[in-house]
Amino acid sequence: MGDASTSVRVDRAAGLAMWTDYRTAHPDVPVDDDIVVECFGDGAALADELIAFVVDGPKRATAGLVAEYAADGDPLPRVGSHWVACDGSGRPRAVLRTWELRLGPVSSVDARFAWDEGEYARTLESWLDGHRRYWGRSCERLGIEYSDDLEVCFERFRVVWPPELAD
């Protein structure tokens, strides 16, 4: 899921309703009583910007500091897990399914991952610039020092719901 430390209050009931609609249409999908409903980013404006890259564009990856997951008491995503991504108002917009995960330091990101994350210029340089700024804020909140050696959960996903957005 990455980017879990958002200040947006999500509409969990609406997110669970979207999840139920997806599961009803796909009865082969296992029940998940702990479905995650969250936003990308650390505020409403960034959440809106990033979900737009998912629903209107090429964003099919995300990255989160392992330290953030730990601080928030959240487990790392699993391959095959689903989550509901919301916009900056907390409204659910899409169900995403994780298909690839890799743990490694910030410095291990490559140009292909930056491209797949689908944000802005889609270059390694722009990815590093934006994520260093974002994670700098996260590290300040966590009371730790930012470093390119921090461990990251690199996640690739598919959009699986609603049907008009599905990959």
- What's the whole-number average pLDDT of the chain? 94
Provide the CA 65 distance to its chain's centre, in angstroms.
11
In terms of pLDDT, which residue wins out, 162 or 34?
Answer: 162
Range of the domain at 70: 12-161
The answer to whether residue 6 sits within a structural domain is no
User: How confident is the model at residue 6, as a pLDDT?
Assistant: 54
Per residue in 8-39, pLDDT (tens digit) is 999 999 999 999 999 999 999 988 888 999 99
Q: Is residue 110 part of a domain?
A: yes
> What pLDDT is recorded for position 1?
42
Rounded to whole angstroms, the maximal C-alpha distance in the chain is 45
Three-state SS for 107?
Answer: helix
Domain-located, residue 3: no
Domain count, the chain: 1
Residue 77 lies in a domain: yes
Split at pLDDT 50, 70, 90, the class of 3 is very low
Does a structural domain hold residue 4? Answer: no
For residue 167, being part of any structural domain is answered with no
Instruction: Answer yes or no: is pLDDT of 5 > 60.
Output: no
Q: Residue 94: enclosing H or E segment and its boundaries? A: strand 92-105
Sort residue 136 into left (φ over 0), alpha (ψ -120 to 50) or beta.
alpha
**Where residue 42 sits, what CATH number does that domain have?**
3.10.400.10
Residue 109 lies in a domain: yes
Cα 105 to Cα 15, 28, 89, 118, 130, distances in angstroms: 31, 35, 32, 20, 16
